[in-house]
């Protein structure tokens, strides 16, 4: 079963996302910032998809930078972004090619559709 | 002198006198004692005198001594004796008969054979009007310059070839340059070539030939001594009455502070929007958590609640991106609601489509929330009840009808068994519809149901004029 790394600085939102994603039979790993996520990405841990918030603690575009670094380490990694901000062109230009962004607040159905879409990409 | 020579001389004298009479400059000839021996017609006309009053008269005594002018005395008594000719000697004098006059006097000593004393030919040109015009022009220019200098925004006036004619004091002070450094140079050459922007050059080239002003061309750059600045450039053609040459007025408005305030406000809006949506995400997460442990029949209610929250959340993005003074385009809002509902209620594999057909109408944020919730409610009900086979189409339509905005939610589903069309919205599910319609000051339009499906129409007060009307008012 696919393993999804969830990167979200808000603990409650992260736990709920883990709960939703695990309900559909996926395995989850989680991190609250770029450094924690990179530690996991550098390890030998199997990770199929990265579901990351964009605004991570003080890093306004932390999720974008994380995905760029992650894809260099693991070129086959799938990426899905989420944000509470308006997705402007500057943000889009930093997205890994062919990826999508799920805007908050998202429901479990929206997250399910987006995760399936990410893994199928 | 032979007869032939005398005849030639006579012919030459006639020709000379004819020429003298037709020359537009006033001419007089003086003998060595400064007595007037002759004058031409132009002299008599200009100075309103006659041959009788003039010939034989001493120049200073002429016309009640009005020619006894110190400057003329200097010319005749001090300059002429030492030089063969003098050109462009300017004499300004108030004549009792013709008022203040400025004259350019050319003087030449002439000698005829046998006349060792010689005569003096004075050609007097009245340049009073030209000088007055020049003085007026100078005064007008000084006035313009003083106005230009009092304008706080830096500005320059450009020639047809884009070179600077003049720069205001504010321009010189702001960019730390002297007038001499600007005159005759192109704007693109100034400073560190900050204004050398192809798009600006392209626009500037159209100002004069096409009379096409430049409105608010924004340039942001680092300027020596000023730091990072944002300027708004405005340019237009300026013409002087009676003058066919045109120039360009280029004004530099420093909008750095305003821009910073806008950016701060945008940042704050984004920050607030980000926090609100994160908090709403927590609420949606709590509902998801509750739904997880709830019996299946209740899950639908939780899902509907999540869609309502999403309808409110989408407003924040639209408000923060709105450039229409905080109002929201109904079209964009409906599309967001439709997109969100499709994803949250239907999923990828659903056979039900939600479509939007909306005119360009605005709605203010205060009413946008109940409006969005109303649309959400009606569309959710349609999705829930109209398609037992899981196939169909829901259309969200907004149109201006007279002075009202008409919202239509139509589906091609199984329809409703209700005889009174006005009661259809209530039949279709929740009390929320009635509450939101009342909140918006609207009414349900009784719509006879034809064919299959259900059509619900709600007439709402036109909250704001359409964008076209707004533009017309602004114009």
Q: Which of A61, A25, A30 is nearest to A47 (CA)?
A: A30
Which of chain B's residues have a Cβ under 8 Å away from the Cβ of A12?
A: 282, 285
> Chain-centre distance of CA B408, in angstroms?
42
Say which residue the tokens 């996991």 belong to. A40
Say yes or no for a CB contact (<8 Å) between B273 and A105.
Answer: no
Query: What would the pLDDT profile of B378-402 be if each residue is shown by its tens digit?
Result: 888 888 888 888 889 999 999 999 8
What distances in angstroms separate CA B388 from CA B33, B355, B377, B413, one per listed residue? Answer: 128, 19, 18, 8
Q: Is A110 within 8 Å of B275 when comparing Cβ atoms? A: no
Residue B359, burial from CB neighbour count under 10 angstroms (0-12, 13-18, 19+): middle
CB-based contact B185:B163 (threshold 8 Å): yes
Task: Per-residue pLDDT tens, chain A, 121 aa: give them.
Answer: 899 999 999 999 999 999 999 999 999 999 999 999 999 999 999 999 999 999 998 888 999 999 999 999 999 999 999 998 888 888 899 999 999 999 899 988 889 989 999 999 7
Q: How confident is the model at residue B467 (pLDDT cuts 50, 70, 90)?
A: very low
CB of B33 within 8 A of CB of B76?
A: no
Interior angle at CA B436, CA B435 and CA B442, nearest 5: 105
Name the B residues in 287-326 with CB < 8 Å from any A CB: 288-289, 291-292, 303, 306-307, 309-310, 313, 317, 320-321
Contacts of B279 (CB under 8 A, 6+ apart): none
Please list the alpha-helical segments (H only) found in B390-431. Answer: 424-427
pLDDT tens by residue, B109-131: 888 777 777 788 889 888 888 88
**What is the value of ipTM here, to two decimals?**
0.89
Q: Do B282 and A10 touch (CB under 8 A)?
A: yes
Task: Evaluate the CA torsion angle A61, A62, A67, A72 in order and state its sign.
Answer: positive
Cβ–Cβ below 8 Å for B274 and A12? no
- Residue among A10, A107, A113 whose CB faces B278 most closely: A10
Scan residues 26-45 of A and list those with Cβ closer than 8 Å to B.
none
Mean predicted lDDT score pLDDT of chain B: 81
| CB pair distance less than 8 Å for A84 and B340 | no
Q: How many CB pairs under 8 A join A and B?
A: 80
Q: Which residue has the higher pLDDT, A12 or B415?
A: A12
Looking only at Cα atoms, what is the longest distance across chain A? 35
Which tokens go with B409? 């939610």
A13 vs B: CB within 8 A? yes
> Per-residue confidence at B139, pLDDT binned at 50, 70, 90?
confident
Strands B443-445 and B404-411: unpaired
Structure token pair of residue B70: 């110190």
CA angle B446, B449, B455 (to 5 degrees): 70
Q: Indicate the SS3 state at residue B401.
A: strand
Residues of A in contact with B343 (CB under 8 A): 107, 109-110, 113
Q: Which two tokens stand for residue B173?
A: 């002070």
Alpha-carbon span B31 to B377, nearest angstrom: 114
- Whether residue B247 is predicted with pLDDT greater than 70 in this model: the reply is yes
Chain A residues 62-121 within an 8 A CB cutoff of chain B: 83-86, 103-110, 112-113, 116-117
Report the sign of the C-alpha dihedral through residues A50, A54, A56, A59, in that order: positive
Q: Among residues B164, B139, B138, B149, which one has the least CA distance to residue B247?
A: B164
pLDDT at site B469: 45
| Kind of pairing between the strands at B227-239 and B214-223 | antiparallel
CB contact (8 A) between residue B348 and residue A117 = yes
Q: How high is the pLDDT of residue B474?
A: 33
Q: Per-residue pLDDT tens for B309-320?
A: 887 887 777 766
User: Tokens 């402007």 correspond to what residue?
Assistant: A88
Contact indicator for B342, B300 with CB cutoff of 8 Å: no
Candidate from A58-67, B31-40, B237-246, B387-396 with smallest mean pLDDT = B237-246
Is the model's pLDDT at B193 over the cut of 60?
A: yes
Beta strands in B11-81 (DSSP E): 26-30, 36-39
Confirm or reject contact between B268 and chain A (CB < 8 A).
no
Interchain contact, A10 vs B288, CB within 8 Å: no
pLDDT reported for residue A2? 95
Least CB–CB distance from B344: residue in A84, A107, A116: A107
DSSP track, B311-347: HHHHHHHHHHH--STT-EEHHHHHHHHHHHHIIIII-
CA distance B429 to chain A (A): 22
Do B288 and A19 lie within an 8 Å CB cutoff? Answer: yes
| CB-CB under 8 Å, B275 with A84 | yes
Residue A16 near chain B (CB below 8 Å): yes
pLDDT value at residue B465: 44
SS (H, E, C) chain A: CCEEEEECCCHHHHHHHHHHHHHCCCEEEEECCHHHHHHHHHCCCCCCEEEEECCECCECCHHHHHHHHHHHHCCCCEEEEEECCCCCHHHHHCCCCCCEEEECCCCHHHHHHHHHHHHHC
Confidence of residue B472 (pLDDT cuts 50, 70, 90): very low
Nearest-CB residue to A104 (from B270, B281, B292):
B281
Contacts of B291 in chain A (CB under 8 A): 108
Residue A115, Cβ density class (10 Å: 0-12 exposed, 13-18 middle, ≥19 buried): buried
> CA of B317 to nearest chain A CA: how many angstroms apart?
6
pLDDT for residue B246 is more than 50: yes
Which pLDDT score, from 0 to 100, does residue B347 have? 66
- Per-residue model confidence (pLDDT) at position B420: 58
Distance from CA of B347 to the nearest CA of A (A): 6
Mean pLDDT of B197-206: 85
In the block, residue with structure tokens 């709920």:
A16
Cα dihedral B35, B37, B40, B45, rounded to 10, equals: 40
Look at residue A42 in the predicted model and tell me its pLDDT. Answer: 96
Rounded average pLDDT over B296-313: 82
Chain-chain contact of A85 with B273 (C-beta, under 8 angstroms) = yes
Nearest to B280 among A19, A105, A108 (CB): A105
- Nearest residue to A45 (alpha-carbon basis) of A74, A24, A71: A74
CA distance B112 to B141: 50
């Amino acid at each position: 079963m696919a393993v999804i790394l969830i990167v979200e600085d808000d603990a409650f939102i992260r736990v709920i996302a883990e709960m939703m994603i695990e309900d559909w039979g996926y395995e989850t790993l989680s991190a609250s910032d770029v450094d924690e996520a990179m530690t996991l990405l550098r390890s030998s841990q199997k990770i199929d998809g990265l579901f990351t918030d964009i605004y991570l603690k003080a890093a306004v575009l932390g999720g974008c930078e994380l995905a760029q670094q992650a894809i260099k380490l693991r070129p086959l990694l799938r990426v899905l972004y989420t944000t509470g901000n308006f997705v402007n062109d500057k943000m889009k230009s930093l997205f890994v090619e062919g990826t999508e962004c799920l805007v908050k607040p998202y429901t479990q159905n929206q997250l399910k559709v987006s995760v399936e879409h990410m893994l199928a990409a | 002198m032979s007869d032939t020579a005398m005849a030639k001389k006579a012919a030459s004298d006639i020709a000379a006198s004819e020429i003298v009479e037709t020359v537009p400059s006033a001419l007089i000839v003086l003998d060595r004692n400064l007595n007037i021996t002759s004058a031409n017609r132009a002299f008599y006309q200009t100075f309103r005198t006659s041959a009788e009053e003039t010939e034989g008269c001493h120049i200073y005594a002429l016309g009640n001594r009005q020619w006894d002018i110190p400057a003329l005395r200097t010319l005749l008594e001090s300059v002429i004796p030492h030089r063969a000719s003098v050109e462009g000697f300017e004499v300004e004098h108030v004549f009792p008969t013709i008022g203040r006059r400025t004259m350019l006097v050319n003087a030449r000593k002439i000698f005829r054979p046998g006349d060792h004393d010689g005569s003096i030919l004075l050609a007097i040109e009245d340049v009073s009007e030209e000088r007055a015009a020049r003085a007026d022009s100078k005064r007008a220019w000084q006035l313009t310059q003083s106005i230009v200098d009092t304008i706080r925004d830096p500005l320059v006036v450009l020639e047809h070839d884009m070179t600077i004619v003049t720069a205001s004091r504010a321009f010189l002070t702001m960019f730390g340059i002297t007038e001499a450094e600007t005159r005759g140079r192109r704007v693109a050459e100034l400073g560190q070539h900050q204004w050398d922007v192809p798009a600006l050059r392209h626009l500037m080239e159209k100002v004069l030939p096409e009379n096409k002003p430049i409105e608010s061309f924004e340039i942001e750059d680092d300027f020596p001594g000023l730091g990072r600045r944002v300027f708004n450039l405005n340019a237009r053609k300026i013409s002087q009455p009676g003058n066919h040459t045109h120039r360009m007025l280029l004004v530099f408005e420093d909008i750095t502070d305003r821009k910073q305030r806008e950016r701060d406000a945008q940042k704050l809006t984004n920050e607030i929007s980000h926090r609100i949506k994160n908090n709403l995400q927590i609420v949606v997460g709590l509902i998801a958590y509750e739904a997880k442990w709830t019996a299946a029949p209740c899950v639908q209610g939780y899902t509907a609640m999540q869609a309502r929250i999403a309808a409110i959340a989408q407003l924040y993005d639209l408000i923060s991106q709105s450039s229409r003074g905080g109002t929201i385009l109904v079209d964009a809002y409906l599309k967001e609601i439709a997109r969100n509902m499709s994803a949250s209620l239907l999923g990828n594999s659903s056979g039900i489509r939600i479509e939007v057909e909306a005119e360009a109408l605005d709605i203010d944020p205060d009413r946008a929330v109940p409006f969005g919730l109303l649309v959400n409610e009606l569309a959710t009900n349609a999705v829930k009840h109209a398609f037992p086979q899981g196939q169909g189409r829901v259309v969200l339509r907004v149109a201006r009808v007279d002075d009202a905005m008409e919202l239509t939610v139509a589906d091609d589903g199984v329809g409703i068994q209700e005889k009174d069309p006005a009661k259809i919205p209530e039949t279709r599910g929740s009390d929320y519809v009635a509450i939101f319609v009342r909140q918006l000051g609207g009414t349900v339009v009784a719509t006879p149901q034809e064919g299959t499906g259900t059509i619900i129409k709600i007439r709402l007060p036109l909250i704001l004029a359409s964008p076209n009307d707004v533009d017309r008012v602004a114009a």
